[in-house]
A = this chain, B = another copy of it.
Amino acid sequence: MDKTKVGIIGLGTVGSGVARLLLDFGDRTGRHAGRTLWLEKAVVRDLAKARDCDLPASVLTDDIEEVLNHPEIEVVAQLIGGLEPARTIMLKLLESGKDVVTANKALLAQHGPELFDRARELGRSIAFEASVAGGIPIIANIGQCLSANQIESLFGILNGTSNFILSKMHEDGAAYADVLAEAQRLGYAEADPTMDVDGADAAQKLAILAHLAFGARVDWQDIPRTGIDKLDVADVRYAQEMGYKIKLLAVAQLVGDGLELHVSPTLVKAGTPLAEVGGPFNAIRVVGDAVGPLLFYGAGAGQMPTASAVVADLIDTAVGRTKITFKTLELWSNRQARVTANDYAQAKGRFYLRANVVDHPGVLAQIATALGRQQVSIASVLQHEAEEGSQVLPLVIMTHETTEGAAAKACEEIAAFKSVQGDLVRMWVRG
């Protein structure tokens, strides 16, 4: 049987998983690729470090030159996170004639154009299934399987940490900080969870998907985003009362000639597929103009799910499919962007608003008037009695369709009222 020699850069969690699949299950790649994927070299920083995979001594090295200069290694899984030295290593790999497979979303979201242009110049390919939604093959599905469609919208739960925390807040009624601590204990959140909970991770993934699905070229940092790190469990309760669940949604949808693009905590109607995605799972709802709505659900992170995506890419690259896809899709090429992001303030939708108001007559009228000045009309109001001894009570308003800008402006105005304490809470509502 033919053999394709493979290198791995970085034996962290995902790298060890990839090594295990290649070493322990060679029969599979034989069966699915018609050839053996042979792990020739795995490059690590520290040879002495303990790892959760057993590698032959001849495979392990701390010298990346052993991969770069190896004439028979054709494909390399580049599994180092962060921007540098990941970027430099990626360029070196391409320049050494290797096709590259990567799981590094931050790198692609930041340096996609440079890396893809360089790969094209050199006649090499980059595969990146594992960079978005872990084990869910969303890159292949959008890039290949839905080729007959104009994608109309894409709503994704793309951050497993946030989804785990939100699910727990819904199930247990526990506060954000407590659930985060539990998530860290269980390994669903990093010691520094910032990128996960502030929406940055989801925005990076959304930038990649928006490019793939719509040809948009956006800097992920320009995508309007709100995380879940300021979420009050009280709003989880009110959302539930009204028949919704709060999800961190990454949204890209065609509106007119442009793209609505943002990452936001969103009230999603309970019972709909996205609302019911629990725990650390991811899901993406894609609507194509021919196929209609599709939903893809699965593990968005974790060692073996991510390794599953990396090895699928290694196989695709070894058999020659990646080369074709890479060429036909022309991702991050110098072609003009097919679509640009709309002004976020013009994005239309319904909103959930919550103000803490001092309990005296006329407050609701005052707030309703402020909303009316921005043409924001009220669909429903939820107002509980003030707690024993408190003069402050939460006023929850669900709006009819309006624009993000009008809702924001009205909230700003309302927050300045003497009878309103603190900032207003404002979230999107879907379904």
Are B146 and A308 touching (Cβ within 8 A)? yes
Number of copies: 2
Nearest CB of B to A146, in Å: 7
> Contact flags (1/0) for A359-372 with B, using CB distance below 8 Å?
00000000000000
Given contacts A34-B327, A328-B319, are A28 and B147 in contact (CB under 8 A)?
Answer: yes
Q: Pick the contact of A21 from B148, B305, B328 — CB < 8 Å?
A: B148
List of B residues within 8 angstroms of A276 by Cβ: 271, 273, 276
Interface size on A, as a range, is: 35 or more
Given contacts A147-B311, A324-B321, are A294 and B136 in contact (CB under 8 A)?
Answer: yes
List of B residues within 8 angstroms of A299 by Cβ: 291-293
Are B291 and A308 touching (Cβ within 8 A)? yes
Instruction: State which residues 277-312 of A face B: CB under 8 Å.
Output: 288-299, 302, 304-305, 307-312
Are B33 and A290 touching (Cβ within 8 A)? no
Roughly how many angstroms separate A149 CA and B28 CA in the complex, as a whole number?
8
Roughly how many angstroms separate A137 CA and B141 CA in the complex, as a whole number?
7
Q: Pick the contact of A148 from B35, B295, B307, B319 — CB < 8 Å?
A: B307
List of B residues within 8 angstroms of A298 by Cβ: 291-295
Nearest CB in chain B to that of A318: its residue: B328
Roughly how many angstroms separate A148 CA and B293 CA in the complex, as a whole number?
27
Roughly how many angstroms separate A309 CA and B29 CA in the complex, as a whole number?
26
Nearest CB of B to A156, in Å: 14
